[in-house]
């Protein structure tokens, strides 16, 4: 028997909720109560903090059992730690772009983890170099050495956010140790990607088999469509859910149409489809670079404005409003970069999934075409999904922030060329998504 349900009520779940249900509820409530979504509510930050504290208790089985027994007041009397739960950056990234609802369709988004791990390799080496520099010229006072080191680290953090700092790091030579770590990380990424692709293929085959079994039976087909519609209804209300659904549906339809057309044109149409897919990949890659450069320029501008404001003795309400506006703008611009990266990753992965699914050499041409028809059917269903105005209002906090940032986009001189683009792609893409099956014309 639960003493009180205050924490469960905050998350909008029953006291019997499973760990997974708690996690999903927390993610949805975190988006709904985010201070950026409620700028006119002076208590928005405290509500968001309270939500985090509630989840911090309930996600811990021992603390949850104690809470069920004692309630909020009893927990406070016992002085049980109820710090707000921290979300891992990769988990938050996944939450913003689809959440768990899309896992069976796109797998785990990996780009943020790949970037973080790559950054750690470079940061570790810089830290070692910095430590060697400090130990090579130790001041007479150990305290002074520590303080100097702190200042140096602070300077480094600030330097990371500037164009000059980025260019300086770009010109540094890669050591053998760093190169070895990067290559090992790339190999690990390739293995995980192959596993991810195979898992997604297997899940698609399962759905296709159900469609094949039901397509000639009106009642069974209606049940199949109802199950998919129910799943899509849950997916569309996730943050960026409708955009992801339409993106997946578009890829499915394009790849399925290419398969069916190639069987009639002796593979000629596939050449044009592959060229179109490659062009789309290039376009998405440029989109990442443009949004990243825009976000970087805005960040530098905000840092400069903060430095000017810090020189004031008293900040006015207008100053506070300006900084809040800048922070929201920066968040929106980084979300735009993250969304461009997500589209790039999802498109690349799903193109490979579809090609593996539709070009299985162990299957006869007829079976491949059956798969293509089923895939096209699912893609069409995804493309038709829409949100109601009420659903859109609940789900689009991050989408709105990104749209606002895009509308306020300012010109900057951070131009980039084809070489920059190719260097960027080399970090994340090991092969063209069309290479594996580009020569398959059966």
Residues 184-197 have pLDDT tens digits of: 888 888 999 999 99
- List where CATH 1.10.287.110 sits in the chain: 6-86
Alpha helical stretches, state H, 161-267: 163-170, 176-214, 218-236, 241-262
pLDDT at 258 over 70: yes
Residues 383 and 250: beta-carbon distance below 8 Å:
yes
Q: Find where tokens 């996600």 sit.
A: 59
Q: Find where tokens 């700028």 sit.
A: 39
Q: Find where tokens 């003493």 sit.
A: 3
Report the chain's mean pLDDT, rounded to a whole number.
73
CA angle (267 as vertex; 261, 273 as ends), nearest 5: 65
The DSSP element (H or E) to which 154 belongs, if any, is helix 142-160
- What number of other Cβ atoms are within 10 A of residue 139's Cβ? 12
Predicted confidence band of residue 280 (pLDDT cuts 50, 70, 90): low
DSSP 8-state code for residue 101: G
The rounded distance, in Å, linking the Cα atoms of 332 and 20 is 29
Predicted confidence band of residue 256 (pLDDT cuts 50, 70, 90): very high
Which pLDDT does position 107 carry in this prediction? 92
Which pLDDT does position 141 carry in this prediction? 39
For the stretch 143-181, pLDDT in tens is 433 334 333 444 444 444 444 555 555 555 667 887 788
Which of 58-72, 210-224, 372-386, 394-408 bottoms out in mean pLDDT, i.e. has the lowest?
394-408
User: Residue 148's Cα: distance from chain center in Å?
Assistant: 37
Burial (CB count <10 Å: 0-12, 13-18, 19+), residue 420? middle
**What CATH class has 6-86?**
mainly alpha
Radius of gyration of the chain (CA): 26
Which pLDDT does position 302 carry in this prediction? 61
Which pLDDT does position 45 carry in this prediction? 81
Which pLDDT does position 340 carry in this prediction? 82
The rounded distance, in Å, linking the Cα atoms of 232 and 378 is 11
CB contact set of 140 (below 8 Å; sequence gap of 6+): none
- Out of 97-111, 279-293, 316-330, 375-389, the most confident range is 375-389
Which pLDDT does position 179 carry in this prediction? 79
Calculate the dihedral angle through the C-alpha atoms of 347, 353, 357, 360, rounding to the nearest 10 degrees: 120
For the stretch 349-408, pLDDT in tens is 999 999 999 999 999 999 999 999 999 999 999 999 998 877 776 556 666 666 666 665
The rounded distance, in Å, linking the Cα atoms of 383 and 403 is 22
Average pLDDT of the residues in 115-140:
55
The rounded distance, in Å, linking the Cα atoms of 262 and 103 is 30
Predicted confidence band of residue 244 (pLDDT cuts 50, 70, 90): very high
User: Residue 291's Cα: distance from chain center in Å?
Assistant: 15
DSSP 8-state code for residue 99: G
Which pLDDT does position 183 carry in this prediction? 85
The rounded distance, in Å, linking the Cα atoms of 177 and 395 is 45
Instruction: Give the chain's length.
Output: 442
């Amino acid at each position: 028997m639960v003493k009180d349900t205050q924490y469960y009520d905050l998350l909008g779940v029953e006291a019997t909720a499973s760990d997974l249900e708690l996690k999903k509820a927390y993610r949805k409530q975190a988006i709904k109560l985010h201070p950026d979504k409620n700028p006119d509510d002076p208590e928005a930050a405290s509500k968001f903090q309270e939500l985090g504290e509630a989840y911090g208790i309930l996600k811990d089985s021992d603390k949850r059992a104690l809470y069920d027994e004692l309630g909020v007041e009893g927990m406070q009397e016992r002085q049980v730690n109820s710090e707000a739960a921290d979300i891992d950056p990769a988990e938050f990234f996944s939450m913003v772009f689809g959440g768990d609802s899309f896992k069976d369709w796109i797998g785990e988004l990996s780009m943020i983890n790949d970037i973080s791990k790559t950054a750690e390799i470079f940061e570790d080496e810089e830290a070692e170099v910095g430590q060697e520099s400090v130990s090579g010229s130790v001041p007479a006072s150990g305290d002074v050495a520590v303080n100097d080191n702190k200042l140096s680290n602070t300077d480094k953090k600030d330097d990371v956010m500037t164009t000059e700092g980025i260019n300086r790091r770009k010109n540094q030579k890669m050591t053998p140790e760093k190169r070895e770590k990067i290559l090992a990380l790339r190999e690990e990424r390739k293995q995980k990607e192959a596993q991810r692709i195979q898992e997604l293929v297997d899940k698609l085959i399962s759905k296709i088999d159900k469609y094949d079994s039901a397509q000639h039976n009106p009642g069974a087909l209606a049940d199949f469509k109802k199950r998919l519609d129910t799943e899509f209804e849950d997916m569309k209300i996730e943050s960026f859910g409708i955009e992801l659904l339409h993106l997946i549906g578009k890829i499915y339809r394009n790849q399925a149409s290419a398969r069916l057309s190639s069987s009639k044109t002796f593979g000629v149409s596939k050449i044009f489809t592959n060229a179109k897919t490659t062009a789309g990949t290039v376009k998405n890659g440029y989109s990442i670079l443009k949004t990243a450069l825009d976000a970087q320029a805005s960040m530098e501008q905000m840092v400069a404005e903060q430095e000017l404001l810090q020189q004031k003795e008293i900040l006015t309400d207008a100053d506070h409003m300006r900084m809040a506006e800048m922070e929201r703008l920066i968040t929106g611009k980084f979300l735009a970069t993250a969304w461009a990266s997500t589209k790039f990753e999802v498109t690349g992965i799903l193109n490979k999934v579809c090609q593996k699914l539709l070009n299985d050499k162990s299957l006869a041409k007829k079976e491949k075409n059956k798969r293509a028809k089923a895939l096209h059917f699912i893609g069409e269903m995804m493309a038709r999904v829409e949100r109601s105005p009420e659903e859109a209002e609940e789900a689009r906090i991050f989408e709105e922030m990104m749209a606002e940032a895009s509308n306020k986009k300012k010109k900057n001189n951070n131009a980039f060329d084809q070489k920059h683009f190719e260097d960027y792609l080399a970090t994340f893409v090991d092969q063209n998504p069309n290479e594996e099956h580009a020569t398959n014309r059966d």
